[in-house]
Structure 1
Amino acid sequence: MQKQSSRLALAAAGVTVVLWASAFVSIRSAGTAYSPGALALGRLLAGVLVLGAVLLIRREGLPPRAAWRGIAVSGLLWFGVYMVVLNWGEQEVDAGTAAMVVNIGPILIALLGARFLGESLPPRLLAGMAVSFAGAVTVGLSMSGADGGSSGGHASVLGVLLCVLAAMAYAGGVVAQKPALAHGSALQVTTFGCLVGAVACLPFAGQLVEEAGRAPLSATLNMIYLGVFPTALAFTTWAYALARTTAGRMGATTYAVPALVVLMAWMFLGELPGLLTLAGGALCLAGVAVSRSRSRSSVGAGADLAGRERAPGR
C-alpha cells in the first residue's frame, strides 16, 4: 500500500511538471494580447470554475478551519503574487533568464521547509538540487544567448528583480500550503487557494474585460488552457503529491520543468535547442533523479519502520 501511494504521488508530480512546462508555451502566446494582471485573473477565474465544479460534484464542501491559514497565505502568494509578477517579469527578460532566476525557488523551498516545517536536508537532496540548479543556469544562459549564440536574449534589472520576487512568492506559497494539506484535501486546498488568488487579482478585472474584447481567439484559448490544465489540474496533482512527501523534495522535482520547456519549445515553436541547452536539460533531469533517490540505509530504515507500524498492537 505504501509503495502504491508513493508511485501515485510520483505520477501526480510528473503530471504537474509536464503541465507547468506547457504553461510557458501558452503564456508566451497569451502574453502578447493580455497584460500580466489580466492574464493572471483570467487564468485564475477559469481555474476556479473548473475546480469549483469538481468540488461540488465530489461534495467535499469547505475545508476545515485549521486549513484556512495555509490556504489564505498560499493563495495570496502563489496563486496571486507569483502569477502576476512572473507574467510581468517575462515581459522584461527573455525566457531563459526568467527560467534561470525563478529556479532559485526550490532552494528557497528546501531552506524554508527546514526552518518552518522541521524538514531535513539530506545530502542527496542537496546534491540533486546543486546539479539541477547548474542545469537550470546552463539552460538559461544558452537560451539567453550568453553562450555566444544569436538568440538575442535580453535582461533588465527590473525583470530580474521581478523573477526573484516570483521565486520567493512561489517558495513561500509551497511552504504555507504544506500544513494546510494535513487538514484539507488536495482539491479543497487548491480550489480555495485559487479562489483567494482570483479575489486578490480582482483589481485587474477592468483590464481583463477591455483586453478580452480585442484579443485574438488563440490568446484567449491559451489563457483558458492555462486556467484549466496548468492551474486547476496541475496544482491539484501537485497538492496531492506534496501531501505525501516533503516540500523540499517536491520543489526539487520542478527542476525538470526547464528541460521539458526546451523540448516543447522545439516541438511547438520550432525553436531548435543547441547542444549547451540540451546538456543543461540533461543536468536538470539528472539532479531530480538524485534528489528523489534514497540511500540503501534510509530505504532499509523506512521498511523497518513500516514493518513495526504494521505489527499487532501498534
Structure 2
Amino acid sequence: MPNRTSRLALAAAGVTVVLWASAFVSIRSAGAAYSPGALALGRLLAGSLVLVAVLLIRREGLPPRAAWRGIAVSGLLWFGVYMVVLNWGEQEVDAGTAAMVVNIGPILIALLGARFLKESLPPRLLAGMAVSFAGAVAVGLSMSGEGHASVLGVVLCLLAAVAYAGGVVAQKPALAHGSALQVTTFGCLVGAVACLPFAGRLVEEAGRAPLSATLNMVYLGVFPTALAFTTWAYALARTTAGRMGATTYAVPALVVLLAWVFLGELPGLLTLAGGALCLAGVAVSRSRPKPAAAPAGSADGPAGSVRS
C-alpha cells in the first residue's frame, strides 16, 4: 500500500508539472490582452467555479477549522499575490530572466520547510536542487536573447518566488486536516476574493479581448489552476514540501519541449543541456539512498525497520 500511495503521489505531481508547463503558452496569449490583475482574477474565477462544482458533487463540505489558517495564508500568498506579481513581472522582464529568478522558489520552500515544518534537508535533495537550479539558469540564459530586464521586473519575480514558497509551506499543515480538494478550492476562493479589486479591469478588458485570449484565460483557470493545484495538494500531503518544490524544476524542461512541439521553437544546445540538467536534478532530489542491509540474526532486521 505505501508503494501504491507513493506511485499515485508521483503521478499526481507529474500531472501538475505538465499542466504548469503548458500554462506558459496560454499566459503568452492571454497576457497580451489582459492586465496582470485582471488575468489573475479571471483565472481564479474560472478555477473556483470548477472546484466548487466538484466539491458539491463530492459533498465534501467545509474543511475543518484547523485547516483554515493554512488555507487563508496559502490562498492569499500563492493564489493571490503570486499570480498577480508573476503576471506583472513577466511584462517587465524577458522570459529567461523571469524563469531564472522565480526558480529560487523551490530552494526557499526547502529552507522554509526546514525552519517551520521541521523537515530534513537530506544531501540528495540539496544536490538535486543545485543541479536543477543550474539547469534552470542555463534554460533562462538561452531564452533571454535580446530581451529586457528592469529592476522592477526582477523585484516582482523575487516577490513571486517568496509568495510561492510561503504559500506552499502554509498549505502543507492544512493538508493534515482537510482534503486536497477542500484546501485547493477554498485557497482558490481566497485568492479570487483578494483579486476582486481588479474586477472592473477584467470586465473592461474582456469586452475587447480576442476570443483566443479569453479562452486561454479560462484554460488557465480550469487546468493549470483547478486540476493542477489539486493534484499538487494531493502529492504534497504525501511527501515533504522540499521534495515537492524540487519536483517543479521539471517545469522548465517541459516548457522547452512544449514550445518545440506546439510552437515550432527549436531549442538550442544550451537550452537542451539546461533542460536535461533540470530533469537530472529532479531525479536525484527524489531518489532515496538504499537501506543498509541488516546483519544476519539482528533484532533490528526487516521486521523492525522503519521507513523514513
TM-score band by shorter chain is over 0.9
| Aligned pair partner of 2:213 in 211, 219, 243 | 219
Aligned letter for 1:72? A
Q: 1:156: how far off?
A: 1.0
Residue identity over aligned pairs, in percent, reads 90
Aligned letter for 1:132? S
Q: How does 1:76-115 map to 2 (within 5 A)?
A: 76-115=76-115
Structure 1 residues 137 and 223, CA, compared in 2 at 3 Å: closer, same or farther? same
**Pairing 1:168–2:162 present:** yes
Structure 1 residues 174 and 306, CA, compared in 2 at 3 Å: closer, same or farther? farther
1:90-137 residue CA offsets vs partner (Å, 9 max, x unmatched):
001111111111000000000000000000000000000000000000
Q: How does 1:172-187 map to 2 (within 5 A)?
A: 172-187=166-181
**Pairing 1:280–2:274 present:** yes
Structure 1 residues 82 and 299, CA, compared in 2 at 3 Å: closer, same or farther? farther
Q: How does 1:1-314 map to 2 (within 5 A)?
A: 1-145=1-145, 152-297=146-291, 307-308=303-304
Tell me the distance in 2 between the aligned counterparts of 1:297 and 1:163.
40
SS of corresponding position for 2:148: coil
SS of corresponding position for 2:207: helix
Aligned letter for 1:105? G
Tell me the distance in 2 between the aligned counterparts of 1:212 and 1:19.
24
Number of aligned residue pairs: give it: 301
| Counterpart residue number, 1:148 | none
Q: 1:162: how far off?
A: 0.5
After superposition, the CA RMSD in angstroms is 1.6
Tell me the distance in 2 between the aligned counterparts of 1:305 and 1:232.
45
Q: TM-score, normalised by structure 2?
A: 0.95
Structure 1 residues 3 and 298, CA, compared in 2 at 3 Å: closer, same or farther? farther
Tell me the distance in 2 between the aligned counterparts of 1:138 and 1:216.
34
| Counterpart residue number, 1:149 | none
Structure 1 residues 221 and 71, CA, compared in 2 at 3 Å: closer, same or farther? same
Tell me the distance in 1 between the aligned counterparts of 2:196 and 2:249.
31
Structure 1 residues 187 and 35, CA, compared in 2 at 3 Å: closer, same or farther? same
Aligned letter for 1:61? G
Tell me the distance in 2 between the aligned counterparts of 1:265 and 1:81.
27
Runs of 4+ that moved beyond 4 A: 304-310
For structure 2, the residue ranges without an aligned partner over 5 or more in a row are: 295-299
Tell me the distance in 2 between the aligned counterparts of 1:168 and 1:299.
41
Q: TM-score, normalised by structure 1?
A: 0.93
Q: 1:268: how far off?
A: 2.0
Q: 1:309: how far off?
A: 8.9
1:57-97 residue CA offsets vs partner (Å, 9 max, x unmatched):
00000000000000000000000000000000000111111
1:129-170 residue CA offsets vs partner (Å, 9 max, x unmatched):
00000000000001102xxxxxx2211111111000000000
SS of corresponding position for 1:173: helix
SS of corresponding position for 1:198: helix
Tell me the distance in 2 between the aligned counterparts of 1:70 and 1:54.
21
Tell me the distance in 1 between the aligned counterparts of 2:250 and 2:301.
31
Structure 1 residues 307 and 75, CA, compared in 2 at 3 Å: closer, same or farther? farther
SS of corresponding position for 2:34: coil
Tell me the distance in 2 between the aligned counterparts of 1:70 and 1:134.
31
